[in-house]
């Protein structure tokens, strides 16, 4: 089992203060009451699934801190710290302090790197890793050398899919939910060539509604309520699926997966 210990940050100061992805519009702000209701529902779903939640303290100056998935990628007790856009760089010192206090060896990536938002461990010793939008291709080798993961490099077709976790979900070791239409042809070919991976197809409409942005521990899946076909496919395979609303979180370009950094992702 994995993805059972998660680092989260309450959305006390969440707002759209800038526009760094296609979903953010400073003239459209989240409803604070609905946002808190959404977040509490996500926390309750994790509790029902038996997950352990740790929290990093929110900073009023960092409105995106609730998207903790981007701050690092972890393997064992070592973490590669993300290297985020300037608007979010202030989140990283908080993450570094928390991880070091928790006993992790933290190394700082010198290249643009979106952490676990763009690097998804498959459970087979590899990570599916995006590049081109939020992660510099040079970060591939840095992550490989630092954490020992094999890198499966992929490219999405547009900034709409600025992070991998909008396109992929790791459901169980080697079992990947994926929206093929969001990937370029070489990436599709590379993934389909992998004998260690099996796939669940996700339709474009559900992926655009962040259905892939979920947390699975190999048995329990927590996802938003805008992916009924994916939810049905998962239940048919024997997974327990809980659905929640993420309409307010989506205003910042994130969902269930974005709000949780897996401290045990492999």
pLDDT value at position 132? 87
pLDDT value at position 146? 98
Where the chain has pLDDT below 70, the residues are 1, 266
- For the chain, the distance separating the N- and C-terminal CA atoms, rounded to the nearest angstrom, is 9
Nearest to 168 by CA among 118, 209, 125: 118
Token pair for 77: 């007790």
The angle at the Cα of 169, spanning 226 to 105, to the nearest 5 degrees, equals: 130
pLDDT value at position 264? 84
pLDDT value at position 244? 98
pLDDT value at position 84? 98
Q: What is the pLDDT of residues 204-252, one digit of tens each?
A: 999 999 999 999 999 999 999 999 999 999 999 999 999 999 999 999 9
Token pair for 75: 């393997």
Q: What is the pLDDT of residues 190-202, one digit of tens each?
A: 999 999 999 999 9
Strand partners of residue 175: 172, 198
Strand 150-154 and strand 5-8: pairing?
Answer: unpaired
pLDDT value at position 2? 81
pLDDT value at position 1? 57
Domains recognised in the chain with CATH numbers? 5-262 (3.75.10.10)
| Distance in angstroms (rounded) separating the CA atoms of residues 137 and 100 | 26
Token pair for 119: 């690097």
Place of tokens 């690092």: 72
From the number of C-beta atoms within 10 Å of its C-beta (0-12, 13-18, 19+), residue 33 rates as: exposed
């Amino acid at each position: 089992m994995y993805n059972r210990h998660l680092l989260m940050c309450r959305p006390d100061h969440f707002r759209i203060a800038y526009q760094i992805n296609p979903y953010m519009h400073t003239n459209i702000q989240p409803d604070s009451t609905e946002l808190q209701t959404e977040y509490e529902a996500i926390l309750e779903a994790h509790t029902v699934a038996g997950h352990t939640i740790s929290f990093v303290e929110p900073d009023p100056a960092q409105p995106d801190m609730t998207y903790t998935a981007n701050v690092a990628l972890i393997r064992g007790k070592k973490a590669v710290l993300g290297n985020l856009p300037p608007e979010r760089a202030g989140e990283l010192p908080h993450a570094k302090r928390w991880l070091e206090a928790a006993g992790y060896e933290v190394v700082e990536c010198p290249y643009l790197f979106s952490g676990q938002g763009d690097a998804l461990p498959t459970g087979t010793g590899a990570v599916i890793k995006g590049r081109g939008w939020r992660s510099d291709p040079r970060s591939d080798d840095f992550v490989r050398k630092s954490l020992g993961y094999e890198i499966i490099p992929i490219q999405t077709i547009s900034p709409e899919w600025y992070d991998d976790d909008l396109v992929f979900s790791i459901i169980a070791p080697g079992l990947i939910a994926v929206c093929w239409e969001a990937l370029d042809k070489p990436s599709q070919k590379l993934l389909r060539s992998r004998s260690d991976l099996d796939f669940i197809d996700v339709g474009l409409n559900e992926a655009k509604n962040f259905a892939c942005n979920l947390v699975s521990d190999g048995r329990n899946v927590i996802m938003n309520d805008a992916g009924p076909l994916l939810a049905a496919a998962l239940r048919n395979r024997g997974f327990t699926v809980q659905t929640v609303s993420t309409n307010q979180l989506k205003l910042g370009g994130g969902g269930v997966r974005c709000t949780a950094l897996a401290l045990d992702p492999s």
